[in-house]
Amino acid sequence: MLAFLSGGFLGWSLGANDSANIFGTAVSSRMVSYRRAVVLISIFVIFGAFMEGERGIETLQSVSEMNLQTAAITTLAGALCVSVMTFLKIPVSTSQAIGGAIFGMAFLNNSVNYQVFYKMIICWVATPVGGMIITVILYNLFALLFRTIKPDIYFQDTWLRVGLVACGCYGAYSLGANNVANCAMVFTGPEEGLLTPSNAVLLGGLFISLGTITYSKRVMMTVGKGIVQLDAFSAFISVLAHSVTLHIFAEIGVPVSSSQAVVGSVIGISFIKGLHLIKYKTLIAVFSGWTATPFIGALLALLLNKLVN
């Protein structure tokens, strides 16, 4: 029962924190309503989890040998870490929270698969960088397209609204495909009474959806307005770049941070439009949260393990 509760709690926390990044820029630019955004995220995150979410479970389970109790402790530690950061309105990495917790327990039991763990760290670092690079490329491509077509204001506004919704749906799909492993890992395994991987990712997607619906607005506004104020075109590019970045790492099979992908894309926009637009106080808080997250996850896992044992 503890395993299912901790997995559900982490899925809810993931939905409340990370899924907000998908439509944060679109909602803050008033191109998509908050209500419509959370409904679309809820639907497509489940779809992405079911279609492509199993690959990430294999990666997380290969970091260390874990039994049901160990998996439950690491998942609960990750959930507590993300929930605190969500309350503080800081977008953090659920993948880093659970990854840090897994590493803490594995280090305690001397069972770390360092090859897999190093691969995860490289992907974590590459996520915001990839978001920035993809943003710069897409911004210039679509800017060239707009200059060539020269659409009127009405057509441009309609096109951007449709594009933001389409990219948001793709982003929700990518989030489910990439991040569901963080909470679904604890639902599956060789022990009796656990779920098959396909059923586990479906259940994980449902919990992420629940977190999106109930408590995602706080972080959504931080991402959408707190770092750089975006116009509609920049918001579209940011959402698309974030979605492509997440999907790439879903194909690799390493759960990475939706928060880092979208913040990387927003910073990429600022490189083009001017670094003076960045709100550095918010950005420093976000980077501090990223740095602290894996360590907090590891520390909480060790404390919970001591309490249980």
What is the C-alpha separation between 252 and 254, in angstroms, rounded? 6
Residue type, 104: G
pLDDT at 160: 85
Q: Is the pLDDT assigned to residue 10 strictly greater than 60?
A: yes
Distances (CA, A) of 70 to 21, 65, 193, 212: 30, 9, 16, 27
Q: Which residues of 220-243 are buried (b: 16+ CB within 10 A; e: fewer)?
A: bbbbbbbbbebebbbbbbbbbbbb
For residue 275, the model assigns a pLDDT of 65
What is the pLDDT averaged over residues 44-66? 90
The domain in which residue 193 lies consists of 2-308
Mean pLDDT of the region 200-221? 87
Residue 248 in this model has a pLDDT that exceeds 70: yes
* pLDDT at 83 (0 to 100): 81
- The C-alpha atoms of residue 122 and residue 116 are separated, in whole angstroms, by 10
Q: What is the pLDDT of residue 289?
A: 73
The reported pTM is 0.86
Q: Which range is least confidently modeled, 29-38, 46-55, 119-128, 293-302?
A: 29-38
Structural domains in the chain (count) = 1
Furthest CA-CA distance within the chain: 67
Structure tokens at 285: 């808080």
Please say if the pLDDT value at position 29 is more than 60: yes
